[in-house]
Amino acid sequence: MKPTFDVVIIGAGVVGSALARHLTRFACSVAVVEKESDVGMAASARNSGVIHAGINYKPGTLRARFCMEGRRLLTQLCEELNVPYSICGKLVVAMCEEEVSELERLKAQGEANGVPDLRIISGVEAAKLQPGIEAIAALHVPTSGIVSPYALTLAMAEDSAVNGANFYLATEAVGIEHQHNCYAIHTKSDTVRGRWIINCAGIHSGRLAQSIDSEAPDLYPCVGEYLLLDKQVGEKLSMSIYPAPQADGAGLGVHITPTMDGNVLLGPSNEYVSDPETRCCTGSTANRLLEEAKTLWSDLPPQVVIGAYAGVRSKQTSPEVGGFGDFLFRRTPNHPQLIHLIGIESPGLTAAPAIARHIVDEIIRNEEPFKPKTAEEISLRRWPLRFDELPEKEKERLVREIPDHGDIVCRCEGVTKHEILQALNNPLGVRTLAGIKYRSRAMMGRCNGGYCLPRIVDILQQEYGWEPTAFQLRGPTSPMFVGRLLEEDHG
Ligand SMILES: Cc1cc2nc3c(=O)[nH]c(=O)nc-3n(C[C@H](O)[C@H](O)[C@H](O)COP(=O)(O)OP(=O)(O)OC[C@H]3O[C@@H](n4cnc5c(N)ncnc54)[C@H](O)[C@@H]3O)c2cc1C
């Protein structure tokens, strides 16, 4: 039987991973239960990757508070873990006079939240900052930035695993039960027990909370589709471009954002759906995203889309109500050691480190004086440097030292054989092709793996003797080469 952990986290998105990472800085036992075969595969990898400055949230809300605290902690964390980020700024553009009043409202709201250096600038000045903008005015937000969202989540989770967090991957929690001095999390195959439980199961957090707390709210999935553009567009875009907010919008509008990998994102769309697991992208939405983006940025070249993906927002507001709810940290008098994090939609990526600090330092450690670990007791795991981004001299030195760096496996992203093997030997024990992709960036370029996938397959067969059945895209339900297409018919 598994031990009873001090803290069990359900869901390893950016919030669960930030919690695990912060908890492993204290002398306590931590487990993370995640239904997918890897961490950070839901909303946390499928968003705009924007470090929000704090202009979009009503002063006094949890979203405003945790965005402001989160952006400061996030950049510190990125420095510490070597996660790529950039404070590149953003422009919110106005195309007509009414939208200029929206910019003024946003500026006042941002200032009330403590966002520094906000300026409303002319269309001419905006076009100087970002050529191709044809607006009448813009709000310049210099403290907004971008981060690699999947690298952030993976880096925090891997650092916490190295520092003692126990990850139960491919383990779906189906219910929570109070037992005499702990909580039992029932999974499809097992039970994991903890004295404190933090439910951060994203879009499923409301439903999971209802297994023990019938008054926990429902959540409404609202999908946001994106288009990923080639790096040739990335060279022309220096900062994010957002439209002025629409009054009834459940999102921030279709925006254009550079990524830390040098690509550009267009999106997201904004559509309530019934399937919380949807990942579908449609041609009609893609066309609409391209059209809307062109109104923001006339320099957008045609024929540059290299991929598409979708992320699901965890909305507390129904389609009829629209707009945004606030973050909900639900803790009832009957179950004070059970904390449900519900409705963590945007700016959840930015806010995650601050949410983790709050839950651990201001709630759990108030009642459990877990001793902080000393510097010697902590092993920092830094996100690996990318070979392709190193200076030539450093590359030459590394190839002499580690010959596998001399073998470029992914030509689009310049990923070496050593980086593929390094990605495979991750501390979470993830052995999927998606796991290699997100850790090394192989298969993320414009050929979408057309060139490097066969080479990666060869490497895994030769170095590790993998059989065709061992190759899975995301986990056991997505075999790459050999697997069942249909269930057996016993009828
Ligand atoms: C389209 C879109 C754009 C966004 N853009 C931004 C942005 O630019 N900046 C920003 O700050 N924020 C942004 N956000 C918000 C941000 O992405 C989310 O707030 C954040 O990722 C939420 O993290 P999470 O860990 O709570 O949820 P998730 O990332 O959804 O993680 C939940 C985890 O729980 C797991 N899980 C679910 N059910 C179970 C179960 N029963 N048992 C075990 N595990 C389970 C899931 O597999 C998943 O790994 C955006 C969100 C979307 C959808």
Domains of the chain, first to last: 4-43+150-219+325-377 (3.50.50.60), 86-146+220-314 (3.30.9.10), 387-470 (1.10.10)
Out of 14, 46, 67, 346, mutate this one to test ligand 1's pocket (max ligand atoms within 8 Å of CB): namely: 346
The answer, yes or no, to whether any atom of ligand 1 lies below 6 A from the CB of 344, is yes
Q: β-strand 240-243 against 90-94: which pairing, if any?
A: parallel
Q: Using 70 as the pLDDT threshold, list the residues of the chain that sit under it.
A: 1, 247-251, 484-491
Is residue 52 annotated as a catalytic residue, yes or no? yes
Nearest-5° Cα angle at 241, 239 to 245: 145
Does the C-beta of 70 come closer than 6 Å to ligand 1? no
Give residue 346 CA to ligand 1 midpoint distance, Å: 9
Ligand 1 pocket mutation pick from 48, 141, 328 by most atoms within 8 angstroms of CB: 48
- How close is the Cα of 42 to the center of ligand 1, in Å? 5
Whether the upstream peptide bond of residue 268 has omega within 30° of 0, thus cis, is yes
- How many Å separate Cα 381 from the centre of its chain? 19
The per-residue pLDDT for 322 is 87
**Residue 96 tokens, joined:** 């007509």
The CA-CA-CA angle for residues 33, 39, 240, to 5°, reads 135
The two counts, helices (H) then strands (E), for the chain are: 14, 22
From residue 59, give the alpha-carbon distance in Å to each of 107, 113, 140, 342. Answer: 12, 6, 20, 20
Helix, strand, or coil (residue 236): coil
- In sequence order, the 6+-apart residues with CB closer than 8 A to the CB of 121 are 129, 137, 138, 139, 140
For residue 156, report the distance from its CA to the centre of ligand 1, in Å: 15
Q: Can you tell me the distance from the alpha carbon of 377 to that of 357, in angstroms, rounded to the nearest whole number?
A: 20
Nearest CA to ligand 1 atom 31: 13
Looking at ligand 1, which atom is closest to the CA of residue 224? 1
The answer to whether 339 and 331 have CB atoms below 8 angstroms apart is yes
- C-beta 343 within 6 A of ligand 1: no
Tell me if ipTM is over 0.95: yes
Q: Which ligand 1 atom sits nearest the alpha carbon of residue 15? A: 25
Amino acid at 459: I
Amino acid 249: pLDDT = 61
Q: Does 48 contact ligand 1 (Cβ within 6 A)? A: yes
**Closest-CA residue to 259 (of 104, 380, 147):** 147
Query: 360-381, pLDDT tens digit by residue?
Result: 999 999 999 999 999 999 999 9
Pairing of strands 30-33, 166-168: parallel
C-alpha–C-alpha distance, residues 290 and 197, integer Å: 43
Q: pLDDT averaged over the chain?
A: 95
